Amino acid sequence: MEELKSLYEALELQNVHTYIQSGNVVFQSQNPDTAGLSKKIEASIEEHFGYFVSVVIRSKSELRFVLDHNPFLRERNEDITKLYVTFLSQTASQAALNELSSIADKYDELRALGKEIYLFCPHGYGRTKFSNKFFERKLKVSATTRNWKTVQRLYKIVDEN
């Protein structure tokens, strides 16, 4: 993670912080073009580490929105250890989202809102069919998932810096 932090700093990003060993990086940038910035970071990671990683960026206000709008907390106050958020690289097409909403699972539930998919997985994320690959295949966008505690912690890091 120290190498990853150095890579972000070399791209002239400020206040770079990494969180756990999962590629979570919090930083500040004056660049409002998050799509372009994602591509720049992806290219640097591929050049430096030798493999491609999709980079999904959320601003402080976008993370705050995610925290404030989890339907599984707002409507039912579910156990946060069973909650996850899949962050999409871009908003999926309405047709793809409509198809998603028709997919049923015996235990797990999903709700799409903007560029996020909120998940309730009562038996844990390791057992759900709603994986990143599932969403990438169905929605034709890149996806990365974080548990609810990680989303809260990332926001706390952002808010403190």
pTM attached to this predicted model: 0.93
pLDDT tens sequence across 113-160: 989 999 999 999 999 999 999 999 999 999 999 999 999 999 999 999
Using an 8 Å Cβ cutoff, are 96 and 90 in contact? no
> Which structure tokens are listed for 101?
């909403």
Distance of CA 155 to the CA centre of its chain: 12
pLDDT tens sequence across 46-83: 999 999 999 999 999 999 999 999 999 999 999 999 99
Instruction: Kindly report the CATH number that applies to the domain delimited by 60-160.
Output: 3.30.70
Token pair 């990438």 is found at 136
Query: What are the sequence ranges of the domains in the chain?
Result: 2-49, 60-160
How crowded is residue 1: how many other Cβ atoms within 10 Å of its Cβ? 14
Using an 8 Å Cβ cutoff, are 130 and 108 in contact? yes
